[in-house]
């Protein structure tokens, strides 16, 4: 497919379990973003990668959240010792590299998200 | 915090133009205006962006005021499939941030038959 894909689409975890969420960006997209969207709210930024480098992780809510993109393509968001407040939709987005920006800016392309429910 | 203000909700008749306003009075000179929409249970979808000139693509038109303090997204012939939450976002590019998006509450547009 040509779009951003995420897996699993739905995940139910018991409180205290670790989870791993996967994102496959659009081929050739250098930039990758993770966002968290609570019910009824807009998405909130978590972290940003350029290729394999994690350049901004200022939005990660705690040290239980960890993201990686070891080969500059697929990314994984890991949440350790899940809590009920972690229940949300986790969205991944990718975009072209800075050098490919048209007119100085470019849009981000989002996947369908992973809905995480912690019970 | 989001730097934009949008109405919470709007209605539009099918086939008519939908005009969605956005205020961004604190926008800085190097910040772009982006519009995204989110259909229920889907990820956000990029629509259009602009700096100071009006822009048009196959989905919509973006009108930015001369002082850049507000903008309007226009869907020229709204269909039922345009029912979604529309987000207006201002963002600029910083090398180590890559243009992260700060979403507000958005406008819930309901297109009615």
**Does residue A45 belong to the interface with chain B, where contact is any CB pair within 8 Å?**
yes
Contacts with B98 from chain A: Cβ below 8 Å: 31, 33, 48, 50, 55-56, 95, 98
- Summarised one tens digit per residue, pLDDT across range B41-58 is 899 999 999 988 899 999
- Here the tokens at position B96 are 């180590």
The whole-angstrom separation of Cα A113 and Cα A11 is 11
Mean pLDDT of chain A: 91
pLDDT at A97: 65
Give the CA distances from residue A73 to residues A22, A28, A95, A99, in Å, rounded to whole numbers and listed in that order: 11, 8, 12, 18
Contacts with B45 from chain A: Cβ below 8 Å: 110
Q: Are A96 and A25 in contact (CB under 8 A)?
A: no
Beta strand ranges found along A14-119 (DSSP E): 19-24, 31-37, 44-50, 53-56, 65-68, 75-79, 88-95, 109-110, 114-118
pLDDT at B55: 94
Phi, psi of B17 (to 5 degrees): -80, 135
The whole-angstrom separation of Cα A23 and Cα A109 is 12
- Summarised one tens digit per residue, pLDDT across range B13-26 is 999 999 999 999 99
In chain A, which residue's Cα lies nearest the Cα of B44? Answer: A110
Q: Do A43 and B103 touch (CB under 8 A)?
A: yes
The whole-angstrom separation of Cα B71 and Cα B22 is 5
Q: Is the pLDDT of residue B92 over 80?
A: no
Q: Is the pLDDT of residue A63 over 80?
A: yes
Tell me how far apart the 2 most distant CA atoms of chain B are, in Å. 45
pLDDT at A102: 47
Q: How large a percentage of chain B has pLDDT more than 70?
A: 93
Cβ-Cβ contacts under 8 Å for A10 (sequence gap 6 or more): A114, A115, A117
pLDDT at A68: 97
The terminus-to-terminus CA distance of chain B in angstroms comes to: 35
Q: Do A33 and B34 touch (CB under 8 A)?
A: no
In chain A, which residue's Cα lies nearest the Cα of B87? Answer: A42
B62 to chain A, minimum CA–CA distance in Å?
14
Neighbours of A44 (CB within 10 A): 17
Which of A1, A37, A43, A111 would you mutate first to test chain B, the one with the most B CBs within 10 A?
A43
Tell me how far apart the 2 most distant CA atoms of chain A are, in Å. 47
Q: How large a percentage of chain B has pLDDT more than 90?
A: 73
**Does residue A41 belong to the interface with chain B, where contact is any CB pair within 8 Å?**
yes
The whole-angstrom separation of Cα A34 and Cα A36 is 7
**Does residue A25 belong to the interface with chain B, where contact is any CB pair within 8 Å?**
no
- Summarised one tens digit per residue, pLDDT across range A14-50 is 999 999 999 999 998 989 999 999 998 999 999 999 9
- Peptide bond preceding A65 in cis form (omega within 30 of 0): no
Which of A52, A110, A112 would you mutate first to test chain B, the one with the most B CBs within 10 A?
A110
Confidence of residue A96 (pLDDT cuts 50, 70, 90): confident
Which of A108, A113, A114 would you mutate first to test chain B, the one with the most B CBs within 10 A?
A108
């Amino acid at each position: 497919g040509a779009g951003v894909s995420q897996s699993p689409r739905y995940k139910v975890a018991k409180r205290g379990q670790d989870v791993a969420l996967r994102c496959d960006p659009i081929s050739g997209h250098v930039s990758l973003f993770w966002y968290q969207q609570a019910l009824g709210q807009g998405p909130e930024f978590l972290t940003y990668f350029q290729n394999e480098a994690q350049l901004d992780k200022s939005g990660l809510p705690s040290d239980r959240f960890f993201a990686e993109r070891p080969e500059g393509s697929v990314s994984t968001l890991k949440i350790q010792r899940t809590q009920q407040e972690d229940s949300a939709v986790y969205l991944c987005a990718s975009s072209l590299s800075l050098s490919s920006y048209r007119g100085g800016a470019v849009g981000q392309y989002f996947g369908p998200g992973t809905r995480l429910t912690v019970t | 915090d989001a730097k934009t203000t949008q109405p919470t909700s709007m209605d539009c008749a099918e086939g008519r133009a939908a005009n969605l306003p956005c205020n961004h009075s604190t926008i800085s000179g190097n910040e772009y205006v982006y519009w995204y929409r989110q259909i229920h249970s889907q990820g956000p979808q990029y629509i259009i962006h602009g700096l100071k000139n009006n822009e048009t693509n196959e989905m919509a038109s973006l009108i930015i005021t001369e002082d850049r303090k507000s903008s309007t997204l226009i869907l020229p012939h709204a269909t039922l499939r345009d029912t979604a939450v529309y987000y207006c976002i201002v963002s600029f590019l910083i090398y180590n941030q890559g243009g992260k998006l700060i979403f507000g509450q958005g406008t819930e547009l309901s297109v009615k038959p």
